[in-house]
């Protein structure tokens, strides 16, 4: 964006970014698989595609705490550790390939997400918003 500082954003900018992120998810298998695995952890419901990447960012920020939780004695002794869903989530959180793919997805989507967030903040501060 530094090169194009005169670029006019329109109300469709966020929609265009969202469609690009949708393409990432639908056309890049690693993105699709990683977001699906992340969805098992957070269950965001019906969301748009930017939200999927923002949720992956939040999961990545909390990675250390999540790993500590699923390796703790309290988790292992708890009732959820023995359930099918509990084991699925635990395996996802402890899977190093999952976290590597989260980083790759975020690196690919970050420039778009940055512009998405900046545009959204600017629009919220307008008198007509």
- Give the pLDDT confidence of 93-107 residue by residue, as tens digits: 999 999 999 999 888
pTM across the whole model: 0.63
* Count of H-run helices and E-run strands, the chain: 7, 0
- Tell me which of 26-30, 78-82, 95-99, 111-115 is least confident: 111-115
Extract the tokens encoding 39: 């969805």
Residue 66 pLDDT exceeds 70: yes
Instruction: Parse the chain into domains and list their residue ranges.
Output: 13-117
Give the model's pLDDT for residue 40. 58
Give the model's pLDDT for residue 46. 38
pLDDT averaged over every residue in the chain: 76
- Tell me which of 18-27, 58-67, 97-106 is least confident: 18-27
Residue whose pair of structure tokens reads 């990432």 in the numeric block: 24
Q: How far is 120 from 17, CA to CA, in rounded Å?
A: 12
- Tell me which of 17-21, 73-77, 122-126 is least confident: 122-126
Alpha-helical segments (H) within 28-95:
29-42, 49-61, 63-70, 73-77, 84-93
């Amino acid at each position: 964006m530094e090169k194009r500082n005169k670029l006019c954003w329109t109300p469709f900018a966020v929609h265009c970014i969202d469609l690009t992120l949708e393409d990432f998810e639908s056309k890049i298998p690693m993105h699709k698989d990683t977001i699906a695995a992340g969805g098992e952890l957070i269950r965001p419901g019906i969301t748009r595609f930017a939200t999927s990447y923002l949720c992956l960012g939040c999961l990545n920020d909390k990675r250390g705490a999540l790993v500590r939780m699923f390796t703790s004695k309290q988790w292992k002794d708890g009732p959820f550790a023995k359930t099918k869903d509990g084991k699925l989530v635990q395996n996802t959180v402890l899977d190093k390939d999952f976290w590597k793919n989260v980083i790759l997805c975020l690196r690919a989507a970050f420039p778009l997400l940055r512009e998405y967030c900046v545009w959204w903040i600017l629009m919220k501060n307008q008198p007509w918003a």
